[in-house]
Amino acid sequence: MVVYSFYIFDRHTECIYQKSWLPPPSIQTTTTSSSDNAKLVFGTVFSLRNMVRKLGGEDDAFISFRTAQYKLHYYETASSLRFVMLTDISTLSMRNVLHQIYINLWVEYVVKNPLSPVEHKGGEGVRNELFELGLDQFIRGLM
């Protein structure tokens, strides 16, 4: 199992955190910058989520999609935070992993961090040492 990259989008649709571990074999070798990538990823999951809801009803959720190169996993919290992870195509569902990141890392080290603001404009307060360390260890432990 290989994890390529990970993104968090807040309820204002801003990308407040992104991290790459390994570049996928053939994407991201083009000229797009990492912020452009985040926008592309958000556009994709936003449209897919809306389409899925339109077809399947309000309670339906899209969980992942797969291309020939990568698999994208999606998890949306009740508070409209969106967690996205790109992995290789053979990986099983990472929904549980994204949920774990939310409850064990995000809630603990960002929401309950006294030095982190309530809103994370520009990613403020998310890139703290405990969160980054915890995330990196967690992901490397899976790989």
Partner 1 sequence: MSFDPVMPPYNASDPTARFVASSCLDFLFIELVPMSYRITNELEEVVVASSSSAADAASIPQSQGTVKKMDEEEEREAVFWRLEGIGYRVGMGLVERFSKDRPKFNDTLDVIKFLCKDLWTLVFRKQVDNLKTNHRGVYVLTDNAFRPFSRMSTEAGGQAVVKAQPFLWIPCGIVRGALAAMGIQATVQAETSELPGAVFQIKTIPAKS
Q: How far is the CB of 123 from partner 1 (least distance, A)?
A: 10
Q: Which two tokens stand for residue 29?
A: 């070798």
Please give the distance of CA 99 from its chain centroid, rounded to a whole number.
Answer: 11
Closest CA to 6 of 130, 126, 111, 113: 126
Q: How far is the CB of 116 from partner 1 (least distance, A)?
A: 8
Interatomic CA distance for residues 34 and 79, integer angstroms: 25
Q: How far is the CB of 107 from partner 1 (least distance, A)?
A: 9
Q: In the chain, how long is the greatest CA-to-CA distance? A: 43
- Measured over the CA atoms of residue 125, residue 130, residue 133 and residue 136, the dihedral's sign is negative
Q: Single out the residue of 5, 82, 131, 135 in contact with partner 1 (rule: CB under 8 A).
A: 131
Interatomic CA distance for residues 126 and 106, integer angstroms: 8
Q: Does 129 engage in binding with partner 1 (CB under 8 A)?
A: yes
| Residue closer to partner 1 (CB basis): 89 or 103 | 103
Q: How far is the CB of 86 from partner 1 (least distance, A)?
A: 24
Q: Single out the residue of 80, 89, 96, 108 in contact with partner 1 (rule: CB under 8 A).
A: 108
> Given the rule CB under 8 A, which residues bind partner 1?
108-109, 112-115, 127-131
